[in-house]
Structures are given as structure tokens and as C-alpha cells.
């Protein structure tokens, strides 16, 4: 080592540090740690989602399915006779009556975001009598995920507010109009 200092010797030796590869290794290691943290977070969120949901839905990707029913009590609906039923008094279908005449098969069901933009829509199915209650069912197969709060509007009635988590309930969501 004639006249060369130890630090100059390291610089000329072609070592990893001298070639600048140490910062690359650090960047790769940090990137891997961040990627693992993101994947772990997605898996953790996925474990926290209700049945029927997914981590991607909670994170704002994809869509989910929700079902529900409008429930009308006696005096709020008109029973419809099934012409094929025996005896003729066997009532199976129903629709809204009085101030509820707007609630019937074909009435629009809309899912709105917080500012009123329609995200998904469907129609009420035919009313079915269940224990003296008229049930008008609906299904929304593709509601965009990730909005947190949703407003569901039946016909021209004021919207009802639901959280995304509550819309994942297996039995659906229910409405008893005012």
C-alpha cells in the first residue's frame, strides 16, 4: 500500500459501497417492507368485512349486492286476488293503498351517494302478503363499494340513509314508510 490511505484503498477496490449498490439494496428492502405492510393491511381489512363483502369492497373497489323490502301494514295496502287461486278468496299479492299507492311492483328503488348521484337502481317486485304485512322486495346486484354512507330512495319518497356495512346484512334492509 505504498502511499495510499485505507479510505482510498476502499474507494478503489470496487466494493459494493464504492459501486453505489448499498443504497439500491436499502431501497429494495424498504419497498418490500411497504409492500408486505399493504398486503397485510388488505388481508386484515378482509378479515373484518361482513359476510358477502371483501377487502376490495371496503377499500373502495368493486361492488356488492344488497336486498331489501318495503313493509306495509294492514290499512296501508290493498290485497289483490289471485285469479288462478282456489278458492277465489286466496289472496297472494298486494300493493300500496291510500297515501301508499305509489308503492307497487315497478316502483323505482335508487341508491344515491351523499350528494344525490344515482349509483344503482332497481324496481320493487310484486307485493306478497306475509302475516298480514305486504312485502315488496327488491334486489340491487351491483352497488359500487367504498362510499361509506348510501341513501336509498323508494319512488319519490325521502331517502333513507344506510352504511355500507348495514347493506351487507344477509337478510337485507327493511323500510316501513312514514
Dihedral of CA 94/99/102/103: which sign? negative
Contacts of residue 37, Cβ cutoff 8 Å, sequence gap at least 6: none
Task: Give SS3 for 73.
Answer: coil
Indicate the domain borders of the chain.
6-48, 62-175
CB atoms within 10 A of CB 69: 22
Region 33-40: mean pLDDT is: 75
Region 93-117: mean pLDDT is: 94
Distance between alpha carbon 170 and the CA centroid of its chain, in Å?
12
- Which of the two residues, 29 and 93, has the higher pLDDT score? 93
User: What is the C-alpha to C-alpha distance for residues 136 and 127, in angstroms, rounded to an integer?
Assistant: 4
- Model's pTM, two decimal places? 0.61
Distance between alpha carbon 28 and the CA centroid of its chain, in Å?
36
Amino acid at each position: 500500500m505504498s502511499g495510499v490511505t485505507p479510505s482510498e484503498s476502499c474507494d478503489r477496490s470496487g466494493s459494493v459501497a464504492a459501486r453505489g449498490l448499498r443504497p439500491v439494496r436499502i431501497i429494495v428492502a424498504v419497498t418490500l417492507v411497504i409492500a408486505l405492510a399493504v398486503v397485510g393491511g388488505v388481508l386484515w381489512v378482509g378479515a373484518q368485512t361482513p359476510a358477502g363483502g371483501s377487502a376490495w369492497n371496503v377499500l373502495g373497489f368493486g361492488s356488492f349486492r344488497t336486498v331489501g323490502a318495503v313493509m306495509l301494514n294492514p290499512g296501508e295496502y290493498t290485497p289483490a286476488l289471485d285469479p288462478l287461486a282456489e278458492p277465489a278468496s286466496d289472496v297472494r299479492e298486494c300493493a300500496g293503498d291510500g297515501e301508499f299507492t305509489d308503492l307497487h311492483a315497478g316502483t323505482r328503488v335508487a341508491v344515491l351517494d351523499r350528494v344525490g348521484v344515482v349509483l344503482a337502481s332497481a324496481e320493487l317486485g310484486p307485493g306478497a302478503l306475509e302475516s298480514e304485512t305486504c312485502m315488496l322486495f327488491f334486489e340491487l346486484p351491483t352497488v359500487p363499494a367504498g362510499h361509506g354512507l348510501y341513501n336509498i330512495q323508494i319512488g319519490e319518497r325521502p331517502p333513507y340513509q344506510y352504511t355500507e356495512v348495514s347493506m351487507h346484512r344477509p337478510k337485507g334492509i327493511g323500510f316501513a314508510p312514514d
